[in-house]
Amino acid sequence: MKTRLKIILAGSLAFVVLSFSAFDNSDKYFEIAKNLDIFATLFKEINTYYVDDVNPNKFMETGINGMLSALDPYTNYIPEDQIEEYQRATTGQYGGIGASVGKRNGVTTVLMPYESFPAFKAGLRIGDQILKIDDKDPNTADTEEVSKMLRGQAGTDVTLLIKRMGEPKPFELVIKRDKIQISNVTFYGMITEDIGTIHLTDFTRDASREVRDALIALKEKGAKKIILDLRGNPGGLLTEAVNIANIFVPKGLEVVSTKGKVKEWNKTYNALNPTTDASIPLAVIVNRSSASASEIVAGVIQDYDRGVVIGENSYGKGLVQATRQLSYNARLKVTVAKYYTPSGRCIQAIDYSSRNEDGSVGKVPDSLRKAYKTKNGRNVLDGGGIKPDLEVAREMFAPITQQLIIKGLFFDYAVKYRYEHPNIADAKNFKLTEEEYAAFDKWLDTQNFTYASRLDKMIKDLEDAAQKEKNNEKILAQIQGLKAAVVQNKNADMQTYKVEVKEELEREIASHFYLEKGGIEASQDDDPDLKAAVQILNDSNKYQQILSGK
């Protein structure tokens, strides 16, 4: 093995050196060849002399990842055994049962079966605990390994041993795997009599077709105005972003351009197809997690004054990646260019080319951000994501609500509620009664639910610091008084923040009955971004005023 490795390394190095000799013998190429030589000899020496056995694959992967970490987080090495997972992420397609799973209290639990796929058809429910997967114990594996156990070639069977609340003993489910294509549009529907909304969560294959079909369906239902919800959408395929923008802007208009070090990446992407609707009033919602392709679409809509962008400042990812084939079926996902919206701005927020001495990176300073013009002459800035035309203040959950989410108590109670209630009203109209909310409060007492706010933790730090001081009795007495003043009382907070807690619990319960669509629909009447979008779409004067920049 060691001899073979030496031969491979020597041969590879000879090839590299010969390849570089064909180029101009510049300092740059000399430095590359020199460092490749150092890297190869170091690898050989470690493999030969290190006291313990070294796994060549893992050792090399660690070195490659360390090297790539000096670039940006989007340039990644993909070894052969991870290609399938990479393709699943980029296409949204895989062979499996169609369910999301995770660990709850150390037990593998179904978090979401996807509608119309095998898990859903077999009757798998949110909250079902998976005790066995084909005689393997999933609870000794991490979530990624469990997901691999569930995936497999379409047409093959997988046997699950399921423990469900209310069932006297575990039971088996045999599920036939199928080709799973996760929808990019997780919800579309009418918000009011004439306003429809489309919730787009990804930009994998067929995203543009799904958005187009949703728009047509909503117009058939009477939609005269549209909300395109891109919150939490991390992006995806550039071509799908171009095609989705084309749904709302006419054929021939520039959608995005890319510029890289290599000339082949200096490209301009225009809308190639007849538009589906170039005039319907449009509101696009973004937040801090809207990135990449989401920002291309939002930027196009903003630059052409085609619609109003609402919500929070977007993430700020203006980098384009391409996949390059490596030896032995490995691949490199590498940043090859920056993209620019039609006005000419690049919205990349972090400058990875300029690192601080400690290796950290910072955002592009405001002083270096340049102003560009939209079609109607409005100022828009580069270098910091997409700034909404109408910003919506973000309200943080109260500490009690945050802890109920973090500790999974909303989830656990929804499992219990689903068992005790065969059906509920449709998700849009589902509301808990006062008695049901009181029952949830009482149930929390059985869960030993306690929590500390951020202020509690700050006081604890202050107390720890005071303990180290001399003559600290007076200070500690004052801290005790402060602690007494901010003691969190669960019962009081359950009433103080009742509206917020109740809304989140209703959303969780609705998702257990109506899955992902139900959770989205149940939260719409409490959604400040959606409310703002509806309000601006219903006020045509304000809508036009924003787009005209007056």
The CATH number of whichever domain residue 103 belongs to comes to 2.30.42.10
Map 429-454 to HEC letters.
Answer: CCCCCHHHHHHHHHHHHCCCCCCCCH
Q: Show the domain range for 437.
A: 399-451+488-534
Q: Which has the minimum average pLDDT: 2-11, 156-165, 191-200, 271-280? A: 2-11
For the cut 60, the answer to whether the pLDDT of residue 147 exceeds it is yes
Query: Is residue 211 located within the same domain as residue 199?
Result: yes
- Is-catalytic flag, 498? no
Determine the pLDDT at residue 15. Answer: 45
Q: Tell me which residue has tokens 């070090």.
A: 261
For the cut 60, the answer to whether the pLDDT of residue 23 exceeds it is no
Residue 478 lies in a domain: no
Task: Give this prediction's pTM.
Answer: 0.86
Residue 120 lies in a domain: yes
Query: Is residue 345 located within the same domain as residue 199?
Result: yes
Distance CA 435, CA 441 (A): 10
For the cut 50, the answer to whether the pLDDT of residue 16 exceeds it is no
Percent of the chain with pLDDT over 90: 69
Residue 347 lies in a domain: yes
Determine the pLDDT at residue 8. Answer: 43
CB 371 within 8 A of CB 344: no
CB neighbourhood size of 71 (10 A): 13
Determine the pLDDT at residue 473. Answer: 78
Mean pLDDT of the chain: 89
Percent of the chain with pLDDT over 70: 93
Number of independent structural domains in the chain: 4
Query: Is residue 329 located within the same domain as residue 383?
Result: yes
Query: Is residue 272 located within the same domain as residue 387?
Result: yes
For the cut 70, the answer to whether the pLDDT of residue 22 exceeds it is no
For the stretch 269-296, pLDDT in tens is 999 999 999 999 999 999 999 999 999 9
**160 or 487, greater pLDDT:** 160
Sign of the dihedral defined by the CA atoms of residues 52, 53, 55, 60, in that order = positive
Determine the pLDDT at residue 21. Answer: 44
Residue 474 lies in a domain: no
For the cut 90, the answer to whether the pLDDT of residue 80 exceeds it is no
Smallest Cα–Cα separation from 503: which of 415, 423, 440, 416? 440
CB neighbourhood size of 155 (10 A): 10
For the cut 70, the answer to whether the pLDDT of residue 492 exceeds it is yes
For the stretch 205-239, pLDDT in tens is 899 999 999 999 999 999 999 999 999 999 999 99
Residue 539 lies in a domain: no
Query: Is residue 385 located within the same domain as residue 248?
Result: yes
Catalytic residue selected from 303, 382, 493, 527? 303
Catalytic residue selected from 72, 206, 294, 317? 317
Name the phi and psi angles at 373, rounded to 5. Answer: -115, 140
pLDDT grade for 476, boundaries at 50, 70 and 90: confident
pLDDT grade for 18, boundaries at 50, 70 and 90: very low
Please spell the DSSP secondary structure of 178-205, one letter per residue.
EEEE--SEEEEEESSSSEEEEEE--B-T
**483 or 95, greater pLDDT:** 95
- Is-catalytic flag, 303? yes
- Across 425-452, average pLDDT: 92
pLDDT grade for 336, boundaries at 50, 70 and 90: very high
For the stretch 89-116, pLDDT in tens is 777 778 999 999 999 989 999 999 999 9
CB 249 within 8 A of CB 255: yes
Residue 496 lies in a domain: yes
For the cut 90, the answer to whether the pLDDT of residue 458 exceeds it is no
CATH of residue 349:
3.90.226.10
Determine the pLDDT at residue 221. Answer: 97
**202 or 484, greater pLDDT:** 202
- Is-catalytic flag, 157? no
Residue 374 lies in a domain: yes
Query: Is residue 228 located within the same domain as residue 307?
Result: yes
Determine the pLDDT at residue 365. Answer: 78
Query: Is residue 294 located within the same domain as residue 212?
Result: yes
- Across 290-305, average pLDDT: 97
Query: Is residue 342 located within the same domain as residue 326?
Result: yes
CB 238 within 8 A of CB 338: no
Determine the pLDDT at residue 393. Answer: 86
For the cut 60, the answer to whether the pLDDT of residue 4 exceeds it is no
Determine the pLDDT at residue 20. Answer: 44
Residue 47 lies in a domain: yes
Catalytic residue selected from 147, 183, 257, 292? 292
- Across 40-63, average pLDDT: 90
Boundary residue ending a domain (377, 394, 411): 394
Query: Is residue 196 located within the same domain as residue 144?
Result: no
Name the phi and psi angles at 202, rounded to 5. Answer: -155, 170
Query: Is residue 245 located within the same domain as residue 348?
Result: yes
Determine the pLDDT at residue 206. Answer: 92
Distance CA 276, CA 68 (A): 42
Boundary residue ending a domain (152, 181, 210): 181
